Amino acid sequence: MAVGPGTLPTFFPVAGVKLGIGSAGIKKPGRKDLVVIELAPGSRVAGIFTRNQFCAAPVHIARRHLASDAPRYLLINTGNANAGTGAQGMKDAQACCQALADLAGVAAGAILPFSTGVIGEPLPVSKIADALPQALADVSESHWAEAATGIMTTDTRPKGATRQIQLDGHRVSISGISKGAGMIRPNMATMLGFIATDAHIAPEVLSSLASELGEKSFNRITIDGDTSTNDACMLIASGQYGGPEINFDSPCLPELRAALQEVFLELAHAIVRDGEGATKFVTIEVSRARSVQEALDVAYTVAHSPLVKTALFASDPNWGRILAAVGRAGVEELDLDALEIWLGDVCLVRNGGRAEDYSESRGQAVMDGEEITIHIDLRRGEVMERVWTCDFSHDYVTINAEYRT
């Protein structure tokens, strides 16, 4: 169950980036659960990671390798998170890096590892090592769609986005994939995202773009409020597009940023649309707040309310649940008579109570749709923020109750 068609695009190949898929049988025999991404020499990588203090062993290793070496390969396995595994988990993640490094003829520090799946189980290093030759033999610039499938866990469908633009007469390609359906509430979700471009981007610009775009996309989605141990979003620039290095002063930077932003948002939204058991894609807008934090506090309080989320699943315009969530969001000196709450184009709350022109039938018409916007106008500042979420259905409980069986 998911919202919208969810069909993969025809990906534009990214020069200098190849993807290969293998089957290690980590959780299920025969399943494509191992992805290798090969980067051309000179490629640059920046990223953001989970802020969960129990972050997984591959997160520690990837951070360390990203800071100390020039990445040449990304190694992704599903079915096992290698989180909550202590010192042995660190050794196992490093062993997988070494196994790939030996096969590829690079230093182990040039490998960035990523894992997703069940927490607390030992990583099956031998299975991964045995499948690496298969994945390496499969690498191709055209394997984005296959890789999107290879990184799935409880996802019901693969997720991808792609763009092509012209910068100063040079064609630039951008392609990306993501995974995630539950345990999603970034501070960087169990989610992974990999976006690559063949643009030649200065390191400090690449790092800035990864943080800025990730903050406004992957860090604005939530399925259930659970920040995972394994989240990561990586932005890769292979530098193969044939043009000059793009720095902060480059006139083409705004156009590149805009195209990257579209890809980041599309991939983040795809996770919400495929939220475990999701039947609704919900945008929560908070406007005229005094600060970004205030706006996000209100938005996330509404987004995480089980009562709001179950009403969304039932297509029930129970606006009192939204009002109650706003009221407990911790906004100091909130002027109840000034604020307004809207469901689509229907005003629910005005002057401290139900809007005089509200009717149940108008609210129901909005709730019956697959895509819904809840807008809260605080009328106390100039800041506006958006958060994207979904409903809670019976299937969400079933999927997570049966996750390990």
Q: What is the pLDDT along the chain (405 residues), one digit of tens a residue?
A: 688 888 999 999 999 999 999 999 998 899 999 999 999 999 999 998 877 777 889 999 999 999 877 999 999 999 999 999 999 999 999 999 999 999 999 999 999 999 998 889 999 999 999 999 999 999 999 999 999 999 998 888 999 999 999 999 999 999 999 998 665 565 543 478 999 999 999 999 999 999 999 989 998 998 776 655 567 899 999 999 999 999 999 999 999 999 999 999 999 999 999 887 889 999 999 999 999 999 999 999 999 999 999 999 999 999 999 999 999 999 999 999 999 999 999 999 999 999 999 999 999 999 999 999 999 999 999 999 999 999 998 887 787 777 676
The per-residue pLDDT for 18 is: 98
Q: Which residues are catalytic?
A: 190
What's the CA gap between 195 and 177, in Å, rounded? 7
What's the CA gap between 308 and 181, in Å, rounded? 19
Domains present along the chain, CATH in parentheses: 17-267 (3.60.70.12), 281-401 (3.10.20.340)
What's the CA gap between 27 and 269, in Å, rounded? 27
Q: What is the pTM of this model?
A: 0.93
Whole-angstrom CA distances from 44 to 150, 299, 354 are 23, 35, 54
Whole-angstrom CA distances from 400 to 29, 176, 181, 220, 404 are 21, 27, 11, 22, 8
Of the candidates 368, 370, 388, 375, the one whose C-alpha atom is nearest the C-alpha of residue 315 is 368
Is residue 262 within 8 Å of residue 163, measured between CB atoms?
Answer: yes
> Which of 320-353 are b and which e, b meaning 16 or more Cβ less than 10 Å from the residue's Cβ?
ebbbbbbeebebeebeeeebbbbbbebbbbbeee
Q: Which two tokens stand for residue 72?
A: 């040449």
306-311: long-range contacts, CB 8 A cutoff, minimum separation 24: 306/392, 309/389, 309/390, 309/391, 309/392, 310/391, 310/392
Tell me the three-class secondary structure of the chain, residue by residue.
CCCCCCCCCCCCCCCCEEEEEECCCCCCCCCCCEEEEEECCCCEEEEEECCCCCCCHHHHHHHHHHHHCCCCEEEEEEEECCCCCHHHHHHHHHHHHHHHHHHHCCCHHHEEEEEEEECCCCCCHHHHHHHHHHHHHCCECCCHHHHHHHCCCCCCCCEEEEEEEEECCEEEEEEEEEECCCCCCCCCCCCEEEEEECCCECHHHHHHHHHHHHHCCHHHECCCCCCCCCCEEEEEECCCCCCCCECCCCCCHHHHHHHHHHHHHHHHHHHHHCCCCCCCEEEEEEEEECCHHHHHHHHHHHHHCHHHHHHHHCCCCCHHHHHHHHHCCCCCCCCCCCCEEEECCEEEEECCEECCCCCHHHHHHHHCCCEEEEEEECCCCCEEEEEEEECCCHHHHHHHHCCCC
The per-residue pLDDT for 182 is: 62
What's the CA gap between 105 and 208, in Å, rounded? 31
The per-residue pLDDT for 202 is: 98
Q: Which residues contact 29 (CB under 8 A, 6 or more apart)?
A: none
The per-residue pLDDT for 146 is: 97
Neighbour count for residue 376 (Cβ, 10 Å):
27
What's the CA gap between 238 and 241, in Å, rounded? 8
